[in-house]
C-alpha cells in the first residue's frame, strides 16, 4: 500500500481507537444494561403498593452521594452530610431508591441499591450500615428466624413498642442492597424476609459502573459479568503502538537507491575503435570498457 493510503488508513484507525477509549466513559454492556439501576430492584410484594412521590425525606429515583446524604439528613432532622464523603471514598458510582405505600394497610416499603466500582466498596458500606444500625438507640435486635441470604444482616428499628421498621441489608457483586418495610401496627418480619429474598434472587451477579466496559454472558441460572479492564488496557496498547508507527513513518527519510559500483568514466576519443558490441574501445594499447556517465537524479 502506498504511503498516502497507509497514512489515511492508520489515521482512521487511530481516530476510531481514540473514540473507543474516550467515549468508553459510558456504561456499555452486551445485554443493553439501562442507564440507571431501577431494573435491578424487586417489585413490591402485592399489586396494591403505590409508588411514593419523591420528597426530601422520601427517596424514590436515581441518587448520587449528596442526594442520599441529604435524604438521611431530612429523615433524621440532623446533618448527615458526612455520608456523602464516605460513599465517595468507597468508590460509590450511582444508586437508586424505590419507595411504596400499600393501600389500606399503609405499609411503607423502601428498596435501595448502592453501586460501587468494586465489591470491596460495597462491603465497606455494608459494614457501615450494619454497625451504624446496631448502635442506634432505636435498634431492637435482629429479625426473628434470620435469613438464608449469604452474609446478610437484619434488624428491627422502633421508636416505641413492638412494631417499627423491619430491615435487611446484603451485598451481591459490586452492589449493596437494603430492603426495609415499616408498620406501627403489624409485625412484618416475614414480609421483610420474603421481600429481601426476592430482591437477592433478582439482583444480578454484578452491575456495570459508568466508565467501565463489560461483557455480559448469560447462562442458565447465572450471569457472568467480566469487567474488561484488560480490554481497556489492550486498546490503550494498540493506540500507543499505532501512534508510534505513524511517527516512524512520518519521520522516515527517503534514501537514494544504491548505484552499482562502476569504473571511472573516461572520455572516448571520437575516432576510437570500438568492439562490435560497443562495450569496449581500443586506446592503441589495450581494450578499455565503455562506462556511461551517472544520472544526476
* Predicted local confidence at residue 27, as pLDDT: 38
- 153 and 77 together in one domain: yes
* Predicted local confidence at residue 286, as pLDDT: 82
177 part of a folded domain: yes
215 part of a folded domain: no
213 part of a folded domain: no
- 39 and 112 together in one domain: yes
Alpha helices (H) along 90-151: 119-134
* Predicted local confidence at residue 237, as pLDDT: 54
Q: Which of 9, 10, 8 is CA-nearest to residue 246? A: 10
DSSP state of 11: H
* Predicted local confidence at residue 256, as pLDDT: 44
- 40 and 103 together in one domain: yes
- 19 and 38 together in one domain: no
88 part of a folded domain: yes
* Predicted local confidence at residue 264, as pLDDT: 42
Are the CB atoms for 215 and 226 separated by under 8 Å?
Answer: yes
* Predicted local confidence at residue 257, as pLDDT: 42
- 173 and 68 together in one domain: yes
DSSP 185-201: SS--HHHHHHHHHHHHH
Per-residue pLDDT tens, the chain, 297 aa: give them. 444 454 444 444 444 444 444 444 333 444 444 579 999 999 999 999 999 999 999 999 999 999 999 999 999 999 999 999 999 999 999 999 999 999 999 999 999 999 999 999 999 999 999 999 999 999 999 999 999 999 999 999 998 888 999 999 999 999 999 999 999 999 999 999 999 999 999 999 999 888 765 544 444 344 444 444 444 555 555 666 665 566 556 655 444 444 433 444 446 776 778 777 777 777 787 877 766 544 333
Q: Which grid coordinates belong to 156?
A: 428491627
| pTM assigned to the model | 0.64
Q: In whole angstroms, what is the distance from residue 92 CA to residue 210 CA?
A: 11
- 139 and 182 together in one domain: yes
Distances (CA, A) of 281 to 219, 265, 292: 88, 13, 13
Q: In whole angstroms, what is the distance from residue 183 CA to residue 58 CA?
A: 16
- 161 and 180 together in one domain: yes
> Which residue range forms the structural domain that includes residue 188?
34-207
Are the CB atoms for 85 and 36 separated by under 8 Å?
Answer: no
- 195 and 58 together in one domain: yes
Residue 67 φ then ψ, to 5° = -60, -40
Query: How many domains does the chain contain in total?
Result: 3
Residue 266, CB-side half-sphere exposure with 13 Å CA sphere: 14
Q: Which of 56, 63, 71 is CA-nearest to residue 92? A: 63
Q: In whole angstroms, what is the distance from residue 115 CA to residue 149 CA?
A: 19
Measure CA of the first residue to CA of the last residue in the chain; give whole Å. 25
Alpha helices (H) along the chain: 3-23, 65-76, 82-89, 119-134, 189-202, 229-251
Q: Which of 79, 118, 105, 104 is CA-nearest to residue 208? A: 118
* Predicted local confidence at residue 127, as pLDDT: 98
* Predicted local confidence at residue 245, as pLDDT: 64
* Predicted local confidence at residue 272, as pLDDT: 75
* Predicted local confidence at residue 54, as pLDDT: 92
283 part of a folded domain: yes
163 part of a folded domain: yes
Q: In whole angstroms, what is the distance from residue 31 CA to residue 159 CA?
A: 44
Amino acid at each position: 500500500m502506498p504511503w498516502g493510503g497507509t497514512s489515511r488508513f492508520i489515521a482512521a484507525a487511530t481516530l476510531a481507537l481514540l473514540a473507543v477509549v474516550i467515549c468508553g466513559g459510558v456504561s456499555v454492556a452486551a445485554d443493553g444494561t439501562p442507564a440507571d439501576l431501577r431494573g435491578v430492584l424487586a417489585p413490591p410484594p402485592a399489586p396494591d403498593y403505590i409508588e411514593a412521590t419523591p420528597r426530601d425525606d422520601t427517596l424514590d429515583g436515581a441518587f448520587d452521594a449528596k442526594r442520599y446524604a441529604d435524604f438521611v439528613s431530612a429523615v433524621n432532622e440532623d446533618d448527615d452530610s458526612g455520608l456523602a464523603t464516605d460513599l465517595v471514598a468507597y468508590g460509590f458510582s450511582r444508586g437508586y431508591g424505590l419507595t411504596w405505600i400499600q393501600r389500606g394497610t399503609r405499609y411503607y416499603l423502601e428498596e435501595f441499591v448502592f453501586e460501587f466500582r468494586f465489591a470491596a466498596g460495597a462491603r465497606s458500606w455494608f459494614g457501615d450500615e450494619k454497625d451504624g444500625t446496631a448502635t442506634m438507640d432505636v435498634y431492637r435486635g435482629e429479625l426473628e428466624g434470620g435469613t438464608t441470604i449469604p452474609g446478610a444482616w437484619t434488624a428491627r428499628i422502633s421508636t416505641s413498642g413492638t412494631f417499627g421498621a423491619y430491615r435487611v441489608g446484603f451485598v451481591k457483586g459490586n452492589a449493596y442492597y437494603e430492603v426495609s418495610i415499616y408498620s406501627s401496627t403489624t409485625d412484618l418480619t416475614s414480609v421483610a424476609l420474603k421481600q429481601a429474598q426476592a430482591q437477592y434472587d433478582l439482583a444480578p451477579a454484578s452491575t456495570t459502573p459508568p466508565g467501565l466496559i463489560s461483557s455480559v454472558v448469560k447462562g442458565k441460572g447465572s450471569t457472568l459479568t467480566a469487567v474488561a479492564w484488560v480490554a481497556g488496557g489492550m486498546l490503550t496498547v494498540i493506540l500507543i503502538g499505532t501512534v508510534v508507527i505513524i511517527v516512524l513513518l512520518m519521520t522516515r527519510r527517503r534514501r537514494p537507491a544504491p548505484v552499482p559500483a562502476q569504473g571511472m568514466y573516461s572520455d572516448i576519443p571520437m575516432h576510437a575503435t570500438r568492439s562490435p558490441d560497443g562495450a569496449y574501445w581500443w586506446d592503441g594499447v589495450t581494450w578499455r570498457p565503455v562506462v556511461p556517465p551517472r544520472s544526476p537524479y
